[in-house]
Amino acid sequence: MYKLPEDFIFGGATAAYQAEGATKEGGKGLVAWDEFLEKQGRFSPDPASDFYHQYPEDIRLCEKFGVNGIRISIAWTRIFPDGTGEVNQEGVDFYHNLFAECQKRNITAFVTLHHFDTPKTLFDKGDFLNRENLDAFVDYAEFCFKEFHEVHYWSTFNEIYPVATNQYLLGTFPPSVKSDFSMIIQCLHNMMVAHARTVNLFKDNNYPGEIGVVHSLETKYPATDSPEDQHAAFLDDALSVRFLLDATYLGYYSDKTMQALEEIAEANGATYEFLEEDFEIMKKASHRNDYLGINHYQCHFVKAYDGETQIHHNGTGDKGTSVYKVKGIGERIYKEGLKRTDWDWLIYPEGMYDILMRIKEDYPHYNKIYITENGMGYKDEFEDGVIMDEARIDYLKVYLEAIGKAIEDGVNVKGYFLWSLMDLFSWTNGYNKRYGLFYVDFETQKRYPKASAYWYKRLSETKTIS
């Protein structure tokens, strides 16, 4: 049994593009996803959970169910429809109204500036591979810091590693490039530079509040004790975890990271450019992060692999269909005996505990941590308004226990945001993979609390995981 601190945040997470819908309303500009999804024809981002209109109801539900924090993102193109230039006042007003609603009900807002939704005009010019777009991001951030005084907690980016790999390795995100490691490495680095520039701007100008970044940190373990498998896990970890933590907290890439990077780049014929001035910026920012947001759902067991890259993304929930073999890194395998979701995500809460302990040990000035996403995607059964999502409750319990144990062992975790507050749109799975505490009927937009919502309410009241 673990008792969580009195001031712990029991939050719910969302993201603009996945929740708001209304992609063509309120003067919003286009993002690359609009065209990408339309061409694919699998599912539409509208109306999603219609948060654009339903937010008062969602915030009311937060209050009713003890959810005292909400993670949202600002859609860059609601503020600057073209990414830069003219401001869309309707978008600015929308977020003021949303934050006012949060304040009215005492729900703390954690606001992310970029959650996978770069404006199309900038995306078409190379997204974060184009250094000019870094300037555009920093300008947009500055506008938000000056405008939204109601916000106390800011995050620059959501999940830099998935942006880089989904866009340029798996190709599941636009522009659907496959296996281009030059792009992957450059994108990772450039986004970390943009993060550092934004942190420095925030701190140099003494904007009120706190700033951090949200990383997806999924622990990597060797599939066996063999030196080959250990090396494969080391490489996979170096690119997906250590690279980001080094950039965030050291402001440079440690020897171990560089060793792995060079090996991966060589195997894949990749080149990249890190400028001396980037490291000056990153170093300056590396002791100025107020917090780290961690998204953690699963972990990976990695085996040596020396073939060509072969990937199949399970975007349907057909268990056992995932394939992930990457040239120059390794193969992520299913570990016999471990539970996994229908989307092949391994349920292994030790991974959460281990990543938290590692940050405390390897980057002791990390300050504090929020778990900004954790949850279980599931095909919920809806029977007369009742949703008994016991498998989700079991998942949440074991992961929260891992967090409780890490807190007991000295890690400063200040809050938890369950993904997701309500059911919403999933980038590569559409609407059949639900995560919410609240079931959304996407036709009527009616919300129904699931069994997990009642469980979470009790947790937030008792602060005790049992």
Residue 335 near residue 223, CB atoms below 8 Å: yes
The torsion angles phi and psi of 112, rounded to 5 degrees, stand at: -100, 140
Q: Based on the shown chain and the rule CB under 6 A, indicate whether residue 373 belongs to the binding site for ligand BG6.
A: yes
Which x/- pattern over 241-280 shows residues binding ligand BG6 (rule: CB under 6 A)?
A: ----------------------------------------
Q: How far is the CB of 434 from ligand BG6 (least distance, A)?
A: 10
Tell me the H-state helices in 20-111.
Answer: 32-40, 51-64, 76-79, 89-104
Q: Based on the shown chain and the rule CB under 6 A, indicate whether residue 295 belongs to the binding site for ligand BG6.
A: yes
Strands 210-216 and 153-158: parallel
Of 121 and 420, which CB lies nearer to ligand BG6 in the complex structure? 420
DSSP label at residue 439:
E
Question: How far, in Å, CA of 77 to CA of 354, rounded?
Answer: 37
Phi-psi label, residue 405: left if phi above 0, alpha if psi -120 to 50, beta otherwise: alpha
Which x/- pattern over 413-442 shows residues binding ligand BG6 (rule: CB under 6 A)?
A: ------x------xxxx---x---------
Q: Based on the shown chain and the rule CB under 6 A, indicate whether residue 331 belongs to the binding site for ligand BG6.
A: no
- Beta-strand (E) ranges in 145-202? 153-158
- How many residues form the binding site for ligand BG6 (CB under 6 A)? 15
Tell me, rounded to whole angstroms, the distance of Cα 206 from its chain centroid.
Answer: 26
Which x/- pattern over 199-238 shows residues binding ligand BG6 (rule: CB under 6 A)?
A: -----------------x----------------------
Tell me the H-state helices in 255-413.
Answer: 255-267, 276-285, 350-362, 390-408
Of 216 and 289, which CB lies nearer to ligand BG6 in the complex structure? 216
Site residues for ligand BG6, 134-173, by CB under 6 A, read 158-159, 162
Residue 70's DSSP bridge partners are: 12, 109
Q: How far is the CB of 343 from ligand BG6 (least distance, A)?
A: 6
Site residues for ligand BG6, 44-83, by CB under 6 A, read none
Of 26 and 317, which CB lies nearer to ligand BG6 in the complex structure? 317
Q: How many CB atoms lie within 10 A of CB 103?
A: 13
Q: Based on the shown chain and the rule CB under 6 A, indicate whether residue 293 belongs to the binding site for ligand BG6.
A: no
Of 251 and 315, which CB lies nearer to ligand BG6 in the complex structure? 315
Residue 220's DSSP bridge partners are: 300
Of 33 and 99, which CB lies nearer to ligand BG6 in the complex structure? 33
Tell me, yes or no, if 6 is annotated catalytic. Answer: no
* Chain residue whose CB lies nearest ligand BG6: 426
Q: How far is the CB of 117 from ligand BG6 (least distance, A)?
A: 10
Q: How far is the CB of 307 from ligand BG6 (least distance, A)?
A: 26
Cα 187 to Cα 183, 314, 380, 386, 446, distances in angstroms: 6, 24, 36, 44, 39
Of 15 and 407, which CB lies nearer to ligand BG6 in the complex structure? 15
- Residue of 4, 9, 15, 62 that binds ligand BG6 (CB under 6 A): 15
Q: Which of 80, 18, 74 is nearest to 46 (CA)?
A: 18
Of 282 and 347, which CB lies nearer to ligand BG6 in the complex structure? 347
Q: How far is the CB of 209 from ligand BG6 (least distance, A)?
A: 22
Cα 368 to Cα 49, 158, 340, 371, distances in angstroms: 31, 17, 30, 10
Q: Which of 210, 135, 205 is nearest to 367 (CA)?
A: 210
- Residue of 212, 377, 404, 415 that binds ligand BG6 (CB under 6 A): 377
Tell me, rounded to whole angstroms, the distance of Cα 156 from its chain centroid.
Answer: 11
Residue 59 near residue 107, CB atoms below 8 Å: yes
Q: How far is the CB of 201 from ligand BG6 (least distance, A)?
A: 24
Please identify which of the residues 210, 373, 381, 383 carries the catalytic annotation. Answer: 373
Site residues for ligand BG6, 348-367, by CB under 6 A, read none
Burial class (CB in 10 A: 0-12, 13-18, 19+), 49: buried
Q: Which of 64, 61, 66 is nearest to 461 (CA)?
A: 66
Q: Based on the shown chain and the rule CB under 6 A, indicate whether residue 121 belongs to the binding site for ligand BG6.
A: no
Of 158 and 460, which CB lies nearer to ligand BG6 in the complex structure? 158
Q: How far is the CB of 433 from ligand BG6 (least distance, A)?
A: 5
Q: Which residues are catalytic?
A: 373
Interacting residues with ligand BG6 (CB under 6 A): 15, 18, 158-159, 162, 216, 295, 373, 377, 419, 426-429, 433
